[in-house]
Amino acid sequence: MGRESPRNRVVWKLAAQQHGVISRRQLLAAGLSSDQIDSRIARGRLHRTWRGVYAVGRPHVTTRGWWMAAVLVCGADSYLSHDSAAELWRIRATKADLGSEHGRPEEIHLSLPGPSTRSRVGIRIHRRSRLPDADRDRQTGIPVTAPARTLIDLGTRLTKKQLEVAVNEADKLGLIDPETLRASVEDHSGVDGVAALRAVLDRRTFTLTDSELERRFMRLVDRAGLPRPLTQQRVNGFRVDFYWPELDLIVETDGLRYHRTASQQSRDRSRDQAHASAGLVAIRFSHAQIRHDAARVADTLRSIAERCRLRIVGSPG
């Protein structure tokens, strides 16, 4: 296509915004006639992806280009969802390099409302009522389900472990904060995937009472072969959960990030820094670790306690 024409400049600009693809409807809206479009197809200026959607200039399309093409071919109110949305948000490992020249995914997941439509090779359609505004987003110009809705949808397809990994990735990437995710789960009560996601969150956010926690942790102390620590002592101006003065060792127990506010986390850091400045070793275990990963906690506690002993024995005086 000649770049000197204002009409062609519009086409090229729009295609660049859409990862190299454009629909026939958009070409017509830009002022091209059906004959002009067919002529460009015949001359190799437009390359068909699906019927009515074309790669502009060259046949190679990136993964994002294929995702965009799938949205264009399925029309308004279609959104990348489920596994494909997770890949776009990078909360699930991608099978193809998003910037590769040959990035066509094996299957593209789209959510859209309305009655069934003609199936298209390589596109898996999930029928549902129109997505509310809170569930819709755009990422690099591609309509996609918002991170919280994507995680809910993944609850219908992933194992509990895989779903927890996806939640962790979304958290790490800053795509969703804990309070918003929990609220979204409650707002979508009854939606497929909610029960699985709630189970993962409940496993992470439960808290033991102080007495339950102390009993469980003391069993792990015995399992690690350590003497019983002092409990609820004030050290460096802070009340600590478990303290071995002979080892200069402190253990704190808390919930994972899903249970602690930003101010609590900031106070935790201040506590840990105060103990470190005083030459103490302070470590943290979550309630979930103590309840569900006892062997690892005991092994970690044993290893750290041994290092503390060696440090004390080897210190001068």
Query: H-helix or E-strand containing 265?
Result: helix 262-277
The pLDDT mean for the chain works out to 87
Smallest CA-to-CA distance from 256 within 311, 310, 205 is with 205
Taking only the tens place, the pLDDT of each residue in 92-114 is 865 544 544 457 898 999 999 87
The model's pTM: 0.66
Quote the pLDDT of residue 212. 74
Quote the pLDDT of residue 264. 65
> What structural domains does the chain harbor?
6-56 (no CATH), 75-205 (no CATH), 210-314 (3.40.960.10)
Quote the pLDDT of residue 5. 75
Quote the pLDDT of residue 171. 82
Quote the pLDDT of residue 8. 82
Q: What is the mean pLDDT of residues 8-18?
A: 90
pLDDT at 262 over 70: no
Q: What is the mean pLDDT of residues 200-218?
A: 73
Region class of 124: left (phi > 0), else alpha (psi between -120 and 50), else beta? beta
Quote the pLDDT of residue 315. 66
Which two three-digit tokens encode residue 111?
A: 């959510």
Q: Which comes out higher in pLDDT, residue 65 or 92?
A: 65
Which residue, chain included where needed, has tokens 């200069």?
Answer: 248
User: Whole-angstrom Cα distance, residue 236 to residue 248?
Assistant: 12
Which residue, chain included where needed, has tokens 């109110």?
Answer: 77
Taking only the tens place, the pLDDT of each residue in 19-52 is 999 999 999 999 999 999 999 999 999 999 999 9
Quote the pLDDT of residue 313. 83
Taking only the tens place, the pLDDT of each residue in 270-301 is 888 999 999 999 999 987 788 888 999 999 99
pLDDT at 141 over 70: yes
